[in-house]
Structure 1
């Protein structure tokens, strides 16, 4: 069984994003970029399934600029077998990404597609669900535990009311949550080996997908600055202050 893992190049989670002066978007110049943390968890889970003897190959794919090859090489250094970059400098919306992934799934025929539940740049949380709908495959989202059992994959999901366990017929789509695993670090020898692993470059046109945007961003602004809190001496003073503010 093959496992396909999409990964996205995003601003590193330790970096505070800056809005462009003209308000047209987020400033990416001279900013550290890295693999989306949820996708890193997806790569780790795919590797664990392979190491358990339940999969033969892990393929990582990214949709983005040429520099996304660095992100793919990181996944290869973690242990993935090969990579595919669908290269474009345009901003690609979740539906277009899902259509590109559908094309790759039809070519590669993986038993599982494991994605991060969302990307930390746009927080859309849409691509996995859209891909499952386009392919007509069962899906298990927000996974905190994944177990391949024969021709099924059992997924424990994090939901508002606690945990839910679903059994999905393979082929299936799984999206990962934070508590699924702790991703490994790539060792120096594996980083060197990753440079020799195959990385195929395609274009959206090769996948037969029109990536023209359906949405238009009108303006991007910084969040409002939070005002400082107020200290009170005791509970009576707190209740009085709340009444004064019209809260209580």
Structure 2
């Protein structure tokens, strides 16, 4: 089965290997490119770091205090943090809700928690933590830049009906995929694919376009791959 991957290239290449092990062929069509913003880290000491994506870890490579408590959104982010030298990491279940709950269970406000995040980021977990009495400055250390168009190989595969499924990991990338497909005249073509989504929120732009979606059983890639196994 041929499966389209729309994540950033490095992430898609890693997923492609997993799909190959399952006997499937990946078509890589990144709709986003990860790039550092160059924004300076907010001034002032903090009591802990919050890291909601492995993409944010590179910006922390020169962070001096590698023993500071770090709250990580999931296992892959934790692996990247360990590889960068951080020693005190507590790991959530892969989503912002569990991350916020984990922090509130382990720390008492008022504490200052630095959220290492992307230029385009959701309100959580920072919003619920601020509501609980924490100070949460955000460091927009990287951004996911939108691609101008889908790769020609992906356009041709969609146009000729050779894509059985598309994997979607974020609402923004799903929305961009719908937009780029529309620009390429593929509105009807994407309705012929099954769209496997990490959450109901991720699926929203696809469902609005009339596409068939299935939602993973958990907010992590293994749950998405379980959907693939079930096809």
Q: Same fold (TM over 0.5)?
A: no
> Per residue, is there more strand in 1 or in 2?
1
Scaled by the length of structure 2, the TM-score of the pair is 0.35
Q: TM-score when scaled to structure 1?
A: 0.33
Say which one has the larger Rg.
1
